Amino acid sequence: MTSMSPDRDAYRRPTRPTMRDVAALAGVGIKTVSRVVNREDNVSPEMEARVRDAAEKLGYRPNLTASHLRRGDGRTATIGLLLEDVANPFSAAVLRAVENVSSARGVQVLIASLDEDPARERELARTLIDRQVDGLIIAPTGRDQSYLIGEQRAGTPIVFVDREPRLIEADAVVSTNHEGALTAVEHLTLRGHRRIAYLGDAPSIMTAKQRFEGYLRALENVGGELVPELVHHDVGTVDAAYAATTRLLGATDPPTALFASQNLVTIGATKGLHRFGRQSEVALVGFDDFSLADILKPGISVVAQEPTEMGRLAARLLFARLDGDGTPAQTHLIPTRLIERGSGELPPG
């Protein structure tokens, strides 16, 4: 005999031993090997020893993919996680929390970044479902997730994180975006600021829109009016925020305070302020906390989110569905928390 499973010599990938090979070497039926591999009862110690020896000798490893295909529940012990950008600290914290909950259950996580591309969102969601993930956690980027209704009905639970579902009913875990932004900007108006600039993502992104509306509400509450020159939408990166801040500071009538609607934007704004030495003159409150915000001079005041808590809850909700939870879908609001560190407490010019 020259090789196991001889028919497969033509394939590029070297042959791996199968249960059949182990059974043949041990001189037992394939079902007995299956029993030993799966630690089922009703195997004599002698049989078990023979099977284990043979498996060891061949370097046998079970093919989980084949096993899942045949198993009754159709489960693969894999979930999919679609986030904006896994390299963003917020997304990375969500990912890590989801991983922790999943790994405690022996479930693996397939991840992908969407980069604000709705076409990519649909394609990746479909691909993951076609790969038989047991469930999906998604921070959607498009304005319509109705394409997931069929999958949901077909039994794949879907949980939204960070951003709410649109045109589909599903569990969701999101920050109190409107209230958080309102709190942040009120913190500035309370100190007398009226010329408060807004820096944030395109309002097509729901969270950005909600935060912008919180900003508007805070202005309204003090009878302030929207000053178009102070509003910068489509600012979603460190560089864009830096550039926008530079422009704002160079204007004839610059703002006395900035509200930055997400972590990268806050960092870019901070860099802009430092670049022109204005960090102790122009106030700044950011949405979402970030590393070292407390060490800068002044410290950066933020409305902090709870990405770890959000990821953990999203994963728990998903597994609850997989465990049979049939209660109506619900949106879970995770409160934000104002952290005063100095930059948000600076008085107007």
Partner DNA sequence: CTGAAAGCGCTTACAG
Spatial separation of the C-alpha atoms in residues 211 and 232, rounded to whole Å: 13
Does 66 bind a copy of itself (CB under 8 A)? Our answer is yes
Q: Is the peptide bond before 347 cis (omega within 30 degrees of 0)?
A: no
Spatial separation of the C-alpha atoms in residues 193 and 283, rounded to whole Å: 9
- The smaller minimum CB distance to a copy of itself, of residues 30 and 231, is found at 30
State whether the Cα torsion 64-68-69-72 is positive or negative: positive
Residue 119's H or E segment, with its range, is: helix 118-130
Number of H helices, E strands in the chain: 12, 12
Q: Which of residues 138-177 bind a copy of itself (CB under 8 A)?
A: 150-151, 153-155
Q: Report which of 257, 327, 262 is spatially closest to residue 298, judged by C-alpha positions.
A: 257
Does 319 bind a copy of itself (CB under 8 A)? Our answer is no
Does 71 bind DNA (CB under 7 A)? Our answer is yes
Does 120 bind DNA (CB under 7 A)? Our answer is no
Site string for DNA, 19-48 (x = CB under 7 A): xx-------xxxxx-xx-xx--xxxx-xx-
Selection from a copy of itself, DNA, none that 35 binds (CB < 5 to 8 A by kind) is DNA
Site string for a copy of itself, 85-124 (x = CB under 8 A): xxx-x--xx-xx--x---x----xxxxxx-----------
- Whether residue 19 contacts residue 70, with contact meaning beta carbons closer than 8 Å, is answered with no
Give the β-pairing of 301-304 and 337-339: antiparallel
Token output for 2: 């020259």
Q: Site residues (CB under 7 A) for DNA?
A: 5, 7-8, 10, 16, 18-20, 28-32, 34-35, 37-38, 41-44, 46-47, 62-63, 66-67, 69-72
Q: Site residues (CB under 8 A) for a copy of itself?
A: 10-14, 16, 59, 61-66, 68-69, 72-76, 78, 85-87, 89, 92-93, 95-96, 99, 103, 108-113, 126-132, 150-151, 153-155, 267, 270-271, 274, 290-292, 294-297, 324
